């Protein structure tokens, strides 16, 4: 797992250009493909403290099957809020093997905290309702390079 994290972190550090400026959101993060059942997800990878802090803040739009995968160095109870985030999102808190631990719908520009039910290293943010529309619930499994598949 440490080798995978190091590889994902390396991708983030090689991304061209600054992660974010006063002019808008970070758009130059590395991308990976994930899947949930037969559904393809194009995810930007936020694996550095700066990229994770900014996340999807200030985005006014995002393609339907795009999201952001937050990668942490170690499993912990992860909590997210939506300050300066303009899009309604659903956060999937994900175990190392890709299993969704829990889902949380989050409202734009809210300071309400949404946390994982147990320690995780991954959080995938997608448009609010993306998981529900596809029948994907806690216990479902994501696959892709991040999860060793």
Residue 12 has pLDDT above 60, yes or no: no
| Radius of gyration in angstroms for the set of CA atoms belonging to the chain, rounded to a whole number | 14
> How crowded is residue 30: how many other Cβ atoms within 10 Å of its Cβ?
20
pLDDT in tens, 40-52: 999 999 999 999 9
The share of the chain scoring above pLDDT 70, in percent, equals 83
Least confident of 15-19, 74-78, 91-95, 138-142: 15-19
Q: Mean pLDDT, to the nearest integer, of 18-33?
A: 69
Number of residues assigned to the chain: 149
Residue-wise pLDDT for 62-117, tens only, equals: 999 999 999 999 999 999 999 999 999 999 999 999 999 999 999 999 999 999 99
Distance, CA of 111 to chain centre = 18
Instruction: State the average pLDDT over residues 17-27.
Output: 52
Q: How many CB atoms lie within 10 A of CB 111?
A: 7
For 32-58, what is the mean pLDDT?
96
Say which CATH topology domain 2-15+31-147 has. Answer: Jelly Rolls (2.60.120)
The residue among 13 and 79 whose pLDDT is bigger is 79
| Arithmetic mean of pLDDT, 14-33 | 62
């Amino acid at each position: 797992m440490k080798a995978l994290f190091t590889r994902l972190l390396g991708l983030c550090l090689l991304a061209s250009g600054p992660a974010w400026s006063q002019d808008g959101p970070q758009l130059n993060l590395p991308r990976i493909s994930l899947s949930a059942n037969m559904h393809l997800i194009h995810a930007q990878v936020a694996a550095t403290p700066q990229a994770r802090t900014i996340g999807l803040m200030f985005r006014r739009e995002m393609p339907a099957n795009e999201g952001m995968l937050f990668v942490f160095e170690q499993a912990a109870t992860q909590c997210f809020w939506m300050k300066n985030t303009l899009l309604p999102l659903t956060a999937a808190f994900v175990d190392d093997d890709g299993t969704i631990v829990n889902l949380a719908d989050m409202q734009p520009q809210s300071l309400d905290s949404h946390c994982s039910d147990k320690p995780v290293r991954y959080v995938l943010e997608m448009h609010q309702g993306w998981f529900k529309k596809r029948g994907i619930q806690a216990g479902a499994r994501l696959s892709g390079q991040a999860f060793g598949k």
